Structure 1
Amino acid sequence: MDFRSNVGKFLSALLLFVIVVGASFAQEKEVKGGVKDALGEPLPGVSVVVKGTTRGIETDFDGNFKLSAKVGEILSFSYIGMKTKEVRVGSSLVINVVLEEDAQELDAVVVVGFGQKRTIKELTGSVGKVGEEIANNSSGSIDKALSGKVAGVQGGMASGQPGGAALLRIRGISSINGRNNPIYIVDGVRIAQGDLTNSTPTANILANMNESDIESVTILKDAVSTAVYGADAGAGVVIITTKSGKKGDAKFSFDAQTGLTSRAVGGEEPLSTSEWLELLYARQLNTNGNPYANRESLIAALEAGSVSGQLQSFYNRRHISTDWRKETERNAALLQKFNGSVSGGTEKLTYYSSLGYYNQDGIVKNSSFNRITNANRINYKATDKLTLATDLQIGFGKMLAASDGGTYSNPILGQYLLRPIEPVRNSDGSFYYGNGRLSNGLYNSAAIQHLNYNTSASTRVLGNFQAEYKILKGLTYKFVFAPEYINIEEDEYRSPIHGGGQALGGTKSSYSSRYFNFNIQNTLSYDFTLEQKNHFSILLAQEAYRSDRRVIGGYANVVGNTFLETLDNFVVPRQTTGVRSVSSRAGYALNLHYDYDKLILLDLSGRQDALSNFWPENKTGYFWSAGVGVDFARLETLKNSNHISQLKLSASYGRVGNLTENAIPYTTYVYTNNYNDKAAAFPSGVDNKDLRWEVIHPLNIGLDLGFWKDRLTLSVAYYEKLTKDMVFDIPLPLSQGSYNVKNGNVYASKYVNVGEMKNSGIEVTLGAKIIQNEKDGFNWSFNANFSTLKNKITKLYGGQDIVVSSTRILREGEAANSFYLVDWAGVNPDTGNTIWYTKDGQITDVYNGSNRKILGSPYPNLFGGFDTKLSYKGISLDAQFSYSFGGKIYDTYGIYGLSDGRLTHIYPGYKSQLDFWTPDNRNARNPKPMPGGNNSSNEHSSRYLYKADYLRLRTIKLAYNLKSSLIENSKLKGVQIYVLGDNVWTHTFDENFKYDPDMQVNGYASFALPPLKSYSLGVNVNF
């Protein structure tokens, strides 16, 4: 009886428990809590969603939330750059969550105008991002490391000079006479860029920044991305975010890298003496009235010493064969790179500090670049509402520059134009100077490298002081003060012993340039959400920028004491320079971002800028943009799809500005000079009251696709970039314009806004995480991008052609700077003489300048890059390629290198001349060499125009991370040993073009220092 009673009571209690528990699971209750990051900072705007439902909310300004949920349901917490976290609802009514950073998610976060952060999925514009892998190169400058990494971005090296400048183009050129390089923003503030020197052949102030201190680089390409930067953002914006510390114990990192560099592409080879003589033999035999029946009889006469003219003297010195390349270049140059950093912090203060050293010797002797950098960044949370930050970057750089271009002291020029029969040194070891000059009027370039120098030493200090105050929930005020100081000391010395300084008794120029730049920003941002799904982000910004430039320098000749090379030791002053220029700019910007549940996206921006250089009525410019997007993957029918993670269609349009760097300010300048020992003045410019901004209207239509949680992504964009009010230099009567000299003629002109140009194309970016196997440790990813480009001039002054040079033209309906040349038809296989095409395509043996026509442009119609990354249990391999197709490149000095006898006896030229026509070699590349040349064969023509198509392995890195078991008993947290290669392989698709086609984005190959490839060994230690 008792047993039955007890069983009955137990079953009744169990049934009651099941009913109560079941009811509690079925009943919704209000769950509340807070979300913080690893530093303990509240995270506003975190998405909190009941998994599998449409119920959700975002955390408030303090990171708190309230949400109705049932016991057993799962809450999903997601936020930009953080790992998504899921928590099951239990009996507790309070759930507190800490979100951790997600490296993959951080890759999807980009920095846009004034430091705002967005995910790729929230954008209506076009941006590209490069992460910390920007440091995986040995170039020493970040602008050299961007080519091929982002769709629409084309890069080229102006020179192989270590520390030299790079040229970057975003979606084609933006102007003919204005800015074409993008502006650079570092941690929210603009910086000075480019070559700021006065006499150094090429320099790049960006080389004073350590790429190892960079966390990411974001490239803004369209109007909705760039409009908040307004007046000079038309060529694009490059935003650099530097590294900062994170909460935790101090982390130390040290990286050491050393290697060797050499030519990336061999270039044309110089001639040896025996090869040069073969050309001269053929030249002699093709002379009218030549008395020698064949090569053998000519050599017999030379042996007998009976040949008249220069050939006999050349033959008599055949035992000398100087390799001028070997004498002026290193076989391999040293590369060194060392970086150390420490970072860490507490809940209130985080810090990052680094020290770096970089040294690169140039492949040309007596050229180098070295720098020392220091970066310091501190973030301090003074109160719950006030955060202070300071960032100080210091760089010291020193460049020893080799002469470039067409100067006689250029060692690259000397390799081809100096005769190999000239010795480098006398028998006693001293340098050979000839009779002041060498036999063809040039100088011993090996001696000049020893005697002359051209140096620039630069110091750059960039400060960034910020204060951020949270006024109300979602409302934040931020103040930024960023001073920048740059000091550049230049010294160029030309010896009186030999070279260009000889006739002047030696020369010396010294310049001291100082730049004081200030950037002040005040921003007010308001971030809020209405009814859970309507998210607004509003930014109001005020920005002021001032640049104060001061230059003091002088140039003098006739050295008093050859052991003293300071400027005051030169007794004949030639020129003094004292310049102070100030330019200022002020602007106001407004940006509105709206999204409805991340389904519908809207961006509106406007900016007003005023520049002091323009006439008061034109100094103010107004710029704006609008962008809209719809991510169909956020629709209810697709939101929980396991296959489609993004399906976004977007479009943007706007108006941005472009500065005209060469434009004359609106005032009429008067230049004071000496005339009969009295002061004299004349107008050197015309008042330009009508001069105004160049204006660019970018259009962007994009489609972004993501599949399988973005394991596969595809972005396609169509773009247009229409430049209006382009500035051109138009002719005026001599009584009204500024005076210039061109081709020996004096003319007058002034800058006016008269031209229009259009760039358009398609960009495609593909990303694939092919294998992600954390268990086995094997991962493989692949990324690729390609871009098409079509450039066209749509309006010129009076619709008239502008012949830019002997090789180029501007014409409506054609690409800017199109090559305008007589078309070379090759070599007549029957006669060995040069033949040409007429305008209508007929063959003629007469060279006529009136047959010039457009034969291509320097701009590629297809370019891009691709990379692959593989890793397996501590071993990783990264390889990145870039390519370009459709552009043309012109060998400026080909008229000397391939002169077919016209100049061969003076300047030997290229080894490729040896493939010349003979009765036994009728399909030769070159015509038969003749005195005076072969039928005008070395006039400017398409003979020297080549395809600039190439495929380049830009970087490759093989790394091994030591197993944790090997270092577990030490204080080391990680050790990586790696081999790094830059520009290690290049394939050019025009077999006749021997130079580096990636060297110039302007389409000219000249006697510039060749770009370099490098191999280096490195080790990275963390502890």
Structure 2
Amino acid sequence: MKKILLLCFVLMLALLHQSIAQDRPVTGKVVDAQSDQGLPGVTVVVKGTSTGITTDAFGNFSITVPETNPVLVVSYIGYTRQEVPVGAQSNITVRLQQDNQQLSEVVVLGYSEQTKQKLISSVSVVESQQLETVPLADVNQIIQGRAPGVLSTVGSGQPGAAANIRIRGTGSIDAGRGPLYVIDGVIIESGDFTRNTPTADLLSTISPSDIESISILKDAAATALYGSRAANGVVLISTKRGKAGKTQFTLRTQYGQTIPNHGDFDVLNSQQLTEYDREGLRNLGLSEATVLRLRPDRDVDTDWIDAAFRNGTTQSYDLSAAGGNENLRFFFSGGYFNQEGILIGSEFSRYSTRFNLDNNPSSRFSWGANLNISYTDQLSASPGNQFNSPLLGSYTMLPWDRISDPVTGELLVGREFESFTQDNFVRSTGLNPTVTNTLRGIGNARGRFEIIPNQLSYKLVLGVDYTGIDEDDFTDPTTPDGFDSQGRKTNIFSRNITLTAQNLLNYAKTFGEAHNFTALVGYEAQRFERDGFDVSGTGFASGRLTNLGTAATAESIGGTATDYYFLSYLSQINYDYQNKYFFTGSFRRDGSSRFGANNRWANFGAVGLSWIVTNESFLSGTDFLSNLKLRLSYGITGNADIGNFASRGLYSFTAAYNGLPASLPSQLENADLTWEKNRTFNAGLDFGLFERVNASVDYYIRSSDDLLLQVPISSTSGFTTFIQNVGEVENKGLEIVISSQNLTGGFAWTTDFNIAGNRNKVKKLTGGQDIPNGTQVIREGEPIRSFYLRDYEGVDPQTGRPLWKDGEGGVTGSYNAAPRMIVGNAEPDFYGGLNNTFKWKGIELSAFIYFIEGNDIYNQTSQILDSDGLRYGFNQSDVVLDHWRQPGDISMRPFPIAGSGNNNAHGTSTRYLEDGSYIRLRNVVLSYNLPKPFISKAGLSSVRVYLQGQNLVTITDYTGFDPELAENGTEFFRYPNGRIATFGVDFGF
């Protein structure tokens, strides 16, 4: 027996040696068949084996093949898959043909995937190369301008701040207006879950370097499978996965600086402000002696803006590994991102890791798992509506107040200042930190079993989204805000858990080689829980003893707990005939704990049709038309983004009656409360010309009814509002996308352009009554964010007094006599993006422009800093120097009167309403891929070096800091965006 085993072992070694001896190396290059440009990242696998590799930045590869009949399988998204016999060749050039029906080969739709050829829905896709190197923390900011119909605005330049996303307009008034987010098939939580942090976003916990693509679902045919929460669109994020072949490592490094950007905005220096204040005091009727005593000459000129802002730094490092074989594939990454804000006291850091695994242990069973863990540390500057804010102080503090004692050099506290804030933010900011730490874990496990091979399969997905947020706010006892309490410390902790389970059955069958049929049925359950507590204490010794255990007095303690549940049944049918006519139908039934006992369940669904005209025989000889497809869809989705107990009759609990607990009614019950309904019609046209141009045009009508509104009721009930399903809002729009290959060959030039316009209208409100909304009004027949203001007409040239329209074709000098009227709205007429990419011999230059046109912004900052003397004790914008001085002067500003303004000229009116249109050079990248022979000596497969600029140039008539900062149309002392310049190197090995 031992001899037999020994003989077998010897034979096995001999065969192994013979096999190794017969293997031989093959080198080659994969290029685009039209341009002959090398294609990076192409998968090359030896057929019948797990041996594989991906091409480098120039399309080159080297692989070992067997001596006998080797065949290479070459595949790349957007190109036709090829099997290439090697024969006796040692060097091969593979020319891949673009497949116009397979461009962006597979589009992720959440519960399913669809080839672009069969896609009926209106879906925009943003690929990884547009995401992974942009030096911003939040994915929502990065996709700005990349997808038509998706309006992304950043309300703050604070690192890690949230962006506001609106897909195809604003469809709700009181309920949520943002999209639903799904990562790798699992619904996640998004938005700001903090209570004390000025700006935070859960999406900033996800590293853009880990994202493969983002699909933005816009019409009902695409969103209907998410029925109950898809009224505002769906954003699907797919993370990177491993590919069969040799393990590929990628190291991305980036470092740069962020430079403050204040636009054309500036404030007065000491001499200018002194003269301006003196003029205002004289106009108040004071004697010259009193004027000079109140505003003497100064020899100090502090630049508070320079003290508040700085050059920030940006750095990121990401290392990933991807590989495996046909049966087991993996992707692993670890990353660090840090951005120091341009405003003192602001910073954001993220530590992240991801592990994705795909396994096919048999031909009928597969499973996989995704896990992302991240930790963020956010230091937030105080917002512009707080006195200790460096943002507010930098523009309002008086230039003759000093930062430090001229003798001792110690920072002044601020109580001795003439400035109204009485706070030296240069000293206070470092002593009063606001810190938010977020630990987040997003994961799922899935299994798929082929019940009938290639026909019927069952899939189970279990997902979890965990977020733990720790907020820490400290006020030092030696700062003005901490004097009275002798210091204050607040800790807030919240734990948020979302659990999801999906059970899906998929069926696919082809009948008669012409009828293709697929079906999906599923059941989904989701549970969300949040609990937390907050504790605060006062009385801290001077120094750095900031732990709550050192507080002299326990000030308060509180706790929160809330949850919600969703149960859903879903189904979809897809059918196509002869690869020309396509149909899809979806139905979903949802139940939610958020709604009334009488309306816990609701039905949602959609149908869609498309026709690929170019697959008809009568167009077979048309050379110039490479693709023509017509699309139609209609469906109903819902909006459930309200409070968890909005339908319930609630009580609040408080301490009363000598400290004993007591409860009081706090909310009326509405057992009939149900979903907002969103009804969307979409008509689309896709076409391609001369194999060079691909374009899409979509027209939509989106109507939202049964709005979830807080309706005013008689106060005799003990309440002032009652939530009901009333009202209707309509959005109509047009979206255009054009991609073109302008030049091909050695020098290549491509252009991607998109533009969208949306018209919003409020169709119905309770009893037709207006809903006041600050400077705006919600009124039937008008856009949802219409400005409702007195119409300012400037200054009477003879008297220097302000004038307003009187509503009857004339003017009036009385502010109170001037009626308010609708004078504009915050909705843009159109917006979009333009990207040009140039390639030549490894050099690539891309420039991306973002634009918004036709929206109005109420510049509330200017109402403080251009106040005609009312804000005496504040610094002012340098535009105040252009004011009326004598009869005959033409100016938009009256003469200043210290402490009282001038006849309410500073009041709310169109004087501060400005055109918010702008064009911004959002991103420019110049890169170079080092030659393969040069880097191969170091064992590297690719090296890419690049320079990148962000927010480099902005063209606008807006006079504030930044037109992008307007939130819902209003800008008030918001943290401006900076200009970012970074240098990066990416290594592949």
Q: Tell me if the contact between 2:676 and 2:708 (Cα under 8 Å) persists in the aligned partners.
A: yes
Partner of 2:401: 422
Superposition deviation, residue 101 in structure 1: 11
* Residues 658-667 or 644-653, more deviating: 658-667
Partner of 2:801: 833
Equivalent of 1:443 in 423, 427, 432: 423
* Residues 420-429 or 193-202, more deviating: 420-429
Q: Residues 445-496 of structure 1: CA distance to partner in whole angstroms, max 9, x if unpaired?
A: 2222122010001111111111111111321211111112111111000112
Within 2, Cα distance between the matches of 1:437 and 1:689? Answer: 57
Partner of 2:662: 680
Partner of 2:412: 432
Q: Residues 607-650 of structure 1: CA distance to partner in whole angstroms, max 9, x if unpaired?
A: 11111122232111211111111121110122454321221111
Within 2, Cα distance between the matches of 1:555 and 1:683? Answer: 27
Superposition deviation, residue 136 in structure 1: 3.4
Matched, 1:117 2:89: no
Instruction: Write out aligned runs for 1:70-219 (5 A).
Output: 81-85=78-82, 107-132=103-128, 133-219=130-216
Structure 1 pair 284–736 and aligned structure 2 pair: CA distance change class (3 A): closer
Structure 1 pair 921–127 and aligned structure 2 pair: CA distance change class (3 A): farther
**Residue 684 of structure 1 aligns to a residue in which SS?**
strand
Q: Tell me if the contact between 2:523 and 2:569 (Cα under 8 Å) persists in the aligned partners.
A: yes
Matched, 1:691 2:661: no
Within 1, Cα distance between the matches of 2:394 and 2:268? Answer: 9
Partner of 1:996: 962
Q: Tell me if the contact between 1:822 and 1:849 (Cα under 8 Å) persists in the aligned partners.
A: no
Within 1, Cα distance between the matches of 2:536 and 2:808? Answer: 53
Superposition deviation, residue 557 in structure 1: 2.2
Structure 1 pair 78–567 and aligned structure 2 pair: CA distance change class (3 A): closer
Partner of 1:27: none
Within 2, Cα distance between the matches of 1:522 and 1:620? Answer: 20
Given residue 483 of structure 1, which amino acid in structure 2 is its aligned partner?
V
Equivalent of 1:343 in 309, 322, 337: 322
Matched, 1:537 2:524: no
Matched, 1:325 2:305: yes
Within 1, Cα distance between the matches of 2:668 and 2:113? Answer: 45
Structure 1 unaligned residues grouped into runs of 5+: 1-35, 43-75, 89-97, 293-306, 739-747
Partner of 1:653: 634
Equivalent of 1:375 in 354, 357, 360: 354
TM-score, normalised to structure 2, is: 0.89
Structure 1 pair 699–962 and aligned structure 2 pair: CA distance change class (3 A): same
Q: Tell me if the contact between 2:328 and 2:360 (Cα under 8 Å) persists in the aligned partners.
A: yes
Q: Residues 231-258 of structure 1: CA distance to partner in whole angstroms, max 9, x if unpaired?
A: 1111111111111111111111111100
Q: Residues 40-85 of structure 1: CA distance to partner in whole angstroms, max 9, x if unpaired?
A: 699xxxxxxxxxxxxxxxxxxxxxxxxxxxxxxxxx9999855155
Superposition deviation, residue 832 in structure 1: 2.6
**Residue 896 of structure 1 aligns to a residue in which SS?**
helix
Given residue 800 of structure 1, which amino acid in structure 2 is its aligned partner?
Q
Given residue 464 of structure 1, which amino acid in structure 2 is its aligned partner?
N
Q: Tell me if the contact between 2:300 and 2:400 (Cα under 8 Å) persists in the aligned partners.
A: yes
**Residue 177 of structure 1 aligns to a residue in which SS?**
coil
Q: Tell me if the contact between 2:45 and 2:245 (Cα under 8 Å) persists in the aligned partners.
A: no
Q: Residues 251-282 of structure 1: CA distance to partner in whole angstroms, max 9, x if unpaired?
A: 11111100000234436322211111121132
Partner of 1:278: 275
Instruction: Write out aligned runs for 1:518-529 (5 A).
Output: 518-529=499-510
Within 2, Cα distance between the matches of 1:680 and 1:978? Answer: 64
Within 2, Cα distance between the matches of 1:767 and 1:793? Answer: 35
* Residues 433-442 or 254-263, more deviating: 433-442
Partner of 2:725: 753
Structure 1 pair 814–719 and aligned structure 2 pair: CA distance change class (3 A): same
Q: Tell me if the contact between 2:207 and 2:335 (Cα under 8 Å) persists in the aligned partners.
A: yes
**Residue 131 of structure 2 aligns to a residue in which SS?**
helix
Q: Residues 310-351 of structure 1: CA distance to partner in whole angstroms, max 9, x if unpaired?
A: x524325x1122111111211x11110111111111121111
Partner of 1:781: 750
Matched, 1:797 2:766: yes
Matched, 1:569 2:550: yes
Partner of 1:984: 952
**Residue 860 of structure 1 aligns to a residue in which SS?**
coil
Within 2, Cα distance between the matches of 1:353 and 1:683? Answer: 52
Given residue 630 of structure 2, which amino acid in structure 1 is its aligned partner?
L
Instruction: Write out aligned runs for 1:816-965 (5 A).
Output: 816-848=784-816, 850-903=818-871, 905-919=872-886, 922-931=889-898, 932-965=900-933
Q: Residues 925-972 of structure 1: CA distance to partner in whole angstroms, max 9, x if unpaired?
A: 422212321221100000111001000111110001111221233311
Superposition deviation, residue 1012 in structure 1: 2.2
Within 1, Cα distance between the matches of 2:897 and 2:885? Answer: 12
Within 1, Cα distance between the matches of 2:96 and 2:365? Answer: 23
Given residue 126 of structure 2, which amino acid in structure 1 is its aligned partner?
V
Partner of 1:512: 493
Q: Residues 681-723 of structure 1: CA distance to partner in whole angstroms, max 9, x if unpaired?
A: 11111112121111111111111111233x2112111111111
Partner of 1:764: 736
Structure 1 pair 354–849 and aligned structure 2 pair: CA distance change class (3 A): farther
Within 1, Cα distance between the matches of 2:832 and 2:377? Answer: 33
Within 2, Cα distance between the matches of 1:334 and 1:77? Answer: 42
Within 1, Cα distance between the matches of 2:854 and 2:630? Answer: 30
Partner of 2:687: 705
Superposition deviation, residue 153 in structure 1: 0.6
Within 2, Cα distance between the matches of 1:880 and 1:797? Answer: 44
Given residue 302 of structure 2, which amino acid in structure 1 is its aligned partner?
T
Superposition deviation, residue 381 in structure 1: 0.8
Given residue 365 of structure 1, which amino acid in structure 2 is its aligned partner?
I
Equivalent of 2:614 in 633, 642, 647: 633
Q: Tell me if the contact between 1:860 and 1:886 (Cα under 8 Å) persists in the aligned partners.
A: yes
Within 2, Cα distance between the matches of 1:464 and 1:494? Answer: 41
* Residues 535-544 or 928-937, more deviating: 928-937
Superposition deviation, residue 441 in structure 1: 4.7
Q: Tell me if the contact between 2:103 and 2:116 (Cα under 8 Å) persists in the aligned partners.
A: no
Within 1, Cα distance between the matches of 2:600 and 2:77? Answer: 40
Partner of 2:476: 495
Matched, 1:723 2:708: no
Task: Figure out how many residues of one structure are paired with residues of the other and give that number.
Answer: 911
Given residue 907 of structure 1, which amino acid in structure 2 is its aligned partner?
F
Superposition deviation, residue 219 in structure 1: 0.4
Partner of 1:33: none
Partner of 2:713: 732
Superposition deviation, residue 604 in structure 1: 0.5
Matched, 1:644 2:625: yes
Q: Residues 69-116 of structure 1: CA distance to partner in whole angstroms, max 9, x if unpaired?
A: xxxxxxx9999855155999xxxxxxxxx9999798775235343342
Within 2, Cα distance between the matches of 1:546 and 1:926? Answer: 57
- C-alpha root-mean-square deviation of aligned residues, in Å? 2.4
Within 1, Cα distance between the matches of 2:810 and 2:46? Answer: 76
Within 1, Cα distance between the matches of 2:161 and 2:136? Answer: 10
Within 2, Cα distance between the matches of 1:140 and 1:79? Answer: 29
Instruction: Write out aligned runs for 1:34-53 (5 A).
Output: 38=45
Q: Tell me if the contact between 2:388 and 2:421 (Cα under 8 Å) persists in the aligned partners.
A: no
Structure 2 unaligned residues grouped into runs of 5+: 1-42, 50-72, 86-93
Within 2, Cα distance between the matches of 1:939 and 1:1011? Answer: 28
Within 1, Cα distance between the matches of 2:494 and 2:857? Answer: 35
Give percent identity, aligned residues only.
31
Given residue 910 of structure 1, which amino acid in structure 2 is its aligned partner?
S
Given residue 335 of structure 1, which amino acid in structure 2 is its aligned partner?
T
Partner of 2:38: none
Partner of 2:31: none
**Residue 911 of structure 2 aligns to a residue in which SS?**
helix
Q: Tell me if the contact between 2:741 and 2:750 (Cα under 8 Å) persists in the aligned partners.
A: yes
Matched, 1:1011 2:980: no
